[in-house]
Amino acid sequence: MLIKNVSIENAAQASDIRVTDGKFEEIGPDLAPRAGEEVLDCTGKLVLPPFIESHVHLDTCLTAGEPVWNQSGTLFEGIRCWSLRKESLTKQDVRDRVNRAVRMQARNGVQFVRTHVDVTDPKLTAMEAMLELREELRGTVDIQVVAFPQEGIDSFPNGRRLMEDAVRMGADVVGAIPHFEFTREYAVESLNFAVELAEKYGKLVDVHCDEIDDEQSRGLEVLAARAYESGLKDRVTASHTTAMHSYNNAYVTKLMRLLKLSEINFVSNPLVNTHLQGRMDTYPKRRGVTRVKELLAEGINVSFGHDDVFDPWYPLGTGNVRDAVFMGLHVCQMMGYQEIMDSYKLISANAAKTLHLGERYGIQAGRPASFIVLDAENFYNALNQKSEVLYSFKNGRLIAKSAPAVREVLF
């Protein structure tokens, strides 16, 4: 198949893409069609590597209001609401909701997902369902599963055993939640445990780290130190890190050296953390989003995630990770022309690094032909005009398509 006349990643010059046997065979200007080859003329539209949802909770998605709504809007009330909903969890219930949510994401150009799955459930029902779905969807939407201890590792009955069971069942990534543990000591011990578990089973690490407005929440320095000392380094990710918003600048200056040494990745979730954080403030109210601009300026890898789709922590969302970019650019004051133009990297290349997709990802000859075509000439316009993802190709196969809406102004 020959895809003609596209702008690859905002390039000023048009290119063509030849896809053969599910791989990019050739990329360059003016490729001539072969006899009988299918040709798709994209008339100068933007082609990007597929979007990546680097942080979402698929097991909880589409449950807002069941059985109760989160009235205070805090993370902690969300955890209580979910704890009630968890009691009625069945595999079929998880499967139905996740199948719907993944298709909402796919419709918006997402092809890779890292989902956190709550393992503070003695039956590990959601984990079982998610691992089945990971296999069923492999090659269409590739899912990475995090064993996520929503109610703590050392503060939940048999927390350590549930974590290890989930990893043995096949989870890809080890999680933790230090700011939710009963004590600072438990927080530190739970991080040590998570890193050791990942080392023992050869897994990645992705911690819900300091998702609180407490400037004393210092799980991040522990995680970064362990990542550095263990050599796991960029196999480790710190998600949320909202307390960093509230740290004093002198401490952040000192911390930054360790963060760079450690080579860990960051995931920020601007939609959800502007919603959940600052809830105990009067005015001024903190935004509670980590220091994305400063981390990027130091050469540290950061991606954006949606975090939730219509659940106890976030009552909105259509699974469109571009919404996280739109919000993040505002909240982090990243509104320079080039910052907006390049912001797709926060949900593509940067996220691919966090997920360790390696050579499975990227628009290059020889790699799997996974890419999306947007109804715009560059990402600035695509973001601003909320342009449709016209085509989403995974391994050379069309997995989603949309037509632009027809809107007429009648004056």
* Active site positions, annotated: 211
Tokens of 251: 């401490």
Where do runs of H (alpha helix) occur along 267-403? 270-276, 292-297, 322-331, 337-342, 349-355, 379-384
CA angle 360, 364, 367 (to 5 degrees): 35
Spatial contact of 275 and 73, defined as CB atoms under 8 Å apart = yes
Per rule CB under 6 A, is residue 307 in the interface with ligand 17E? yes
* Closer Cβ to Fe ion, 151 or 307, answer by number: 307
* Closer Cβ to Fe ion, 45 or 306, answer by number: 306
Least separation in angstroms between CB 306 and Fe ion: 10
- What's the chain's Rg over C-alpha atoms? 21
Task: Extract long-range pairs of 15-19: CB within 8 Å, 24+ residues apart.
Answer: 17/47, 17/363, 17/369, 17/371, 19/369, 19/393, 19/396
Residue in 239, 256, 227 with CA at minimum distance from that of residue 351: 239
Distances in Å between the Cα of 393 and the Cα atoms of 128, 326, 345, 369, 373 are 29, 24, 18, 7, 9
Contacting ligand 17E within 134-153 (CB under 6 A): 150
Tokens of 398: 């069309």
Judged by CB under 6 A, the number of residues near ligand 17E is 10
Q: Which does 353 bind (CB under 5 to 8 A by kind): ligand 17E, Fe ion, none?
A: none
Which of 75, 126, 191, 289 binds ligand 17E (CB under 6 A)? It is 75
Produce one character per residue of 269-295: b if its CB has 16 or more CB atoms within 10 Å, e if not: bbbbbbbbbbbeeeeeebbbbbbbebb
Least separation in angstroms between CB 316 and Fe ion: 15
Spatial contact of 352 and 309, defined as CB atoms under 8 Å apart = no
Least separation in angstroms between CB 118 and ligand 17E: 8
Which of 313, 371, 380, 391 binds ligand 17E (CB under 6 A)? It is 313
Q: Which does 313 bind (CB under 5 to 8 A by kind): ligand 17E, Fe ion, none?
A: ligand 17E
Least separation in angstroms between CB 209 and Fe ion: 10
Residue in 322, 197, 344, 213 with CA at minimum distance from that of residue 278: 213
* Closer Cβ to Fe ion, 7 or 241, answer by number: 241
Where do runs of H (alpha helix) occur along 5-123? 75-86, 91-107
* Closer Cβ to ligand 17E, 204 or 212, answer by number: 212
Q: Which does 308 bind (CB under 5 to 8 A by kind): ligand 17E, Fe ion, none?
A: ligand 17E
Which of 267, 271, 272, 400 binds ligand 17E (CB under 6 A)? It is 272
* Closer Cβ to ligand 17E, 73 or 170, answer by number: 73
Judged by CB under 5 A, the number of residues near Fe ion is 1
* Closer Cβ to Fe ion, 163 or 369, answer by number: 163
Per rule CB under 6 A, is residue 277 in the interface with ligand 17E? no
Rounded Cα distance, 239 and 178, in Å? 12
Contacting ligand 17E within 388-407 (CB under 6 A): none
Where do runs of H (alpha helix) occur along 116-183? 125-137, 159-169
Q: Which does 211 bind (CB under 5 to 8 A by kind): ligand 17E, Fe ion, none?
A: ligand 17E
Spatial contact of 386 and 323, defined as CB atoms under 8 Å apart = no
Least separation in angstroms between CB 368 and ligand 17E: 30
Q: Which does 272 bind (CB under 5 to 8 A by kind): ligand 17E, Fe ion, none?
A: ligand 17E
Per-residue H/E/C for 237-251: EEEECHHHHCCCHHH
Residue whose C-beta lies closest to ligand 17E: 313
Residues 304-343, mask of contacts with Fe ion (x by CB under 5 A): ---x------------------------------------
Residue in 56, 22, 358 with CA at minimum distance from that of residue 208: 56
Least separation in angstroms between CB 305 and ligand 17E: 9
Which of 4, 18, 45, 57 binds ligand 17E (CB under 6 A)? It is 57
Least separation in angstroms between CB 310 and ligand 17E: 11
User: Residue 228: helix, strand or coil by DSSP?
Assistant: helix
Contacting ligand 17E within 156-215 (CB under 6 A): 177, 208, 211
Spatial contact of 56 and 356, defined as CB atoms under 8 Å apart = no
Name the residues that contact ligand 17E, by CB under 6 A.
Answer: 57, 75, 150, 177, 208, 211, 272, 307-308, 313
Name the residues that contact Fe ion, by CB under 5 A.
Answer: 307
